[in-house]
Amino acid sequence: MLRVPYRELEDVLAGALERLGFEPERGRLCARLFAEASLDGVASHGLNRFPRFVQMIRRGLVDVAARPELVEARGALERWDGRRGPGNLNAHACMNRAIALARGHGLGGVALARTNHWMRGGSYGWQAAEAGVIGVCWTNTMPNLPAWGAVDPRLGNNPIVIAVPHPDGHVVLDMAMSQFSYGTLESYRLRGEPLPVDGGFDAAGRPTRDPGAIEASARPMPIGCWKGAGLALMLDMAAAVLSGGSATHQIAADPNEETGLSQLFLALDPGPADRAAETVAAILAHLHGSRPDGREPVRHPGQRTLEVRRRNLELGVPVHPESWRFAREL
């Protein structure tokens, strides 16, 4: 695996985006969001996702010049139109706006319609935590998850992000409603490994740990079975209602055509920073005092991200040679 210095990765992407028509400042931010995803170990939504992003720009599905527009303001809750702009820039702008609303009102919400894939959802959690607020956001997606009791995918896996700031390292959860993403299924299949727990159903409808069987049946498992399926539905419904945008069933069921998403961004003022830091530290200390079951270490959300980030800053960010060549030659 090739490793490149973080700065070089961001610069290469920024240059490529400028050549694709981004204004320099917007291209720089977009590049940073892609590069940071790879830096943090989420290459599937970092550099490895970049070629598809470029393809969607070239096909006119992502408008590099479009900025989100305010549609309606109701005090602490606003509705914005993403105008099919770059999904990560739209999401970043809307979380920023939610943070600004939280500064004035204690909490703030922005519902965003007509946007594109936000790439790594965790980015907007880290962003909120960096700003010292609690961030909550979620997105709907194309249909890629069957309802509980169903065969055909009519739910999105609708990732949710919850972030709590902390001086020793923010605590950031970024999770989709399927037990494993298709990217993860592919990785296991390529390594020839079974999944650690049932990850979906095979063609005969039996729960299985065989990643290839799930890719073939298109029946991944929602987290907690009926529970995650229910949560996925609610996240889609809330995002679509609040933004006035599309629900999952209105989004093209093709990763290359997936556009017009709906999202919600919430920011909440955590109150006195000292008190919050103390509360978080005590919760984490108690958690890490758990009696281990001998299978795997107890971790808290965001912990591994910080470890990977530190290592990759030191050793360079691992890049897939093909994606890396694609970006440099753009």
- Residues numbered 217-236 forming contacts with its own copies, rule: CB under 8 A: 222-225, 227-228, 230-231, 233-236
Do 267 and 95 touch, CB atoms closer than 8 A?
yes
Q: Least distance (Å) from its own copies to the CB of residue 30?
A: 28
191 touches its own copies by CB under 8 A: no
Identity of the residue numbered 114: R
* CB contact at 8 A, 85 and 62: yes
- Name the one residue in this structure whose structure tokens are 């103390």: 278
Binder among 2, 298, 313, 315 for its own copies (CB under 8 A)? 298
The single residue among 241, 256, 315, 322 that binds its own copies, judged by CB under 8 A, is: 241
For 94, the token pair is 């809307």
Among 61, 147, 306, 330, binds its own copies (CB under 8 A): 147
Catalytic-residue membership of 92? no
Cα atoms in the 13 Å half-sphere on the side-chain side of 220: 25
Q: Which of residues 155-184 bind its own copies (CB under 8 A)?
A: 155, 162, 164, 171, 173, 175, 179
Could you tell me the smallest distance in angstroms from the CB atom of residue 208 to its own copies?
13
The CA distance from 200 to 36, in Å, is 30
Q: Does 9 bind its own copies (CB under 8 A)?
A: no
Q: Is the dihedral of CA 212, 216, 218, 221 positive or negative?
A: negative
Q: Of 45, 55, 14, 7, nearest to 31 (Cα)?
A: 14
Residue 78 as a binder of its own copies (CB under 8 A): the answer is: yes
Measured between alpha carbons, how far is 172 from 43 in angstroms, rounded to an integer?
A: 17
Nearer to its own copies by Cβ, of 173 and 306: the residue is 173
Residue 137 CB, nearest distance to its own copies (Å)? 13
> Is residue 16 a contact point for its own copies (CB under 8 A)?
no
- Binding residues for its own copies, rule CB under 8 A, total 84
Verify binding: residue 70, its own copies, rule CB under 8 A: no
152 φψ region: left (φ > 0), alpha (ψ -120 to 50), beta (else): beta
Active site residues: 45
